Amino acid sequence: MEEKVKALQHEVESFLVKSKEDLENFRLKFISKKGSVSALFDDLKSALPEEKRKLGKVVNDLKQLTESKFKTFQESIENLASSDQEIMDLSLPVIPNKTGNLHPLNLTRYRIIEIFERLGFNVSDGPEIEDDWHNFTALNFPENHPAREMQDTFFIEKNPDVLLRTHTSNVQVRLMKNQKPPIRSIMPGRVYRNEAISARAHCFFHQVEGLYIDKNVGFSDLKQTLYHFAKEMFGKETKIRLRPSYFPFTEPSAEIDISCLICHGEGCNVCKYSGWVEIAGSGMVHPNVLRNGGIDPEEFTGFAFGMGIERITMLRYSINDLRLFSENDVRFLRQFKSVV
Ligand code: DAH
Chain Cα centroid distance, residue 139: 34
169 lines ligand 1 (CB under 6 A): yes
What spacing in Å lies between the alpha carbon of 168 and ligand 1's midpoint?
8
302 lines ligand 1 (CB under 6 A): no
Cite the DSSP H helix spans in the chain: 2-14, 20-26, 36-45, 49-79, 104-118, 132-135, 169-178, 219-234, 287-292, 309-317, 330-333
Q: Answer yes or no: is pLDDT of 121 > 80.
A: yes
What spacing in Å lies between the alpha carbon of 280 and ligand 1's midpoint?
7
Give the model confidence (pLDDT) of 196-225 as tens digits.
998 888 999 999 999 999 999 999 999 999
Residues 212 and 305 sit within 8 Å (Cβ to Cβ): no
Beta bridge partners of 255: 243, 281
Predicted pLDDT at 53: 84
For β-strands 155-157 and 122-123, DSSP reports them as: unpaired
Predicted pLDDT at 339: 59
CA distance 283 to 187: 16
Q: Of all residues in the chain, what percent carry a pLDDT higher than 90?
A: 67
For the chain, the average pLDDT equals 91
- Greatest distance between any 2 Cα atoms in the chain: 121
CA distance 27 to 3: 22
255 lines ligand 1 (CB under 6 A): no
Give the model confidence (pLDDT) of 59-78 as tens digits.
999 999 999 999 999 888 88
Tell me phi and psi for residue 184, to 5 degrees.
-140, 100
What spacing in Å lies between the alpha carbon of 331 and ligand 1's midpoint?
33
Cα radius of gyration rounded to whole Å, the chain:
38
Nearest to 309 by CA among 113, 151, 122, 154: 113
What type of residue sits at position 12? V
The DSSP line for 63-80 is HHHHHHHHHHHHHHHHHT
What spacing in Å lies between the alpha carbon of 249 and ligand 1's midpoint?
8
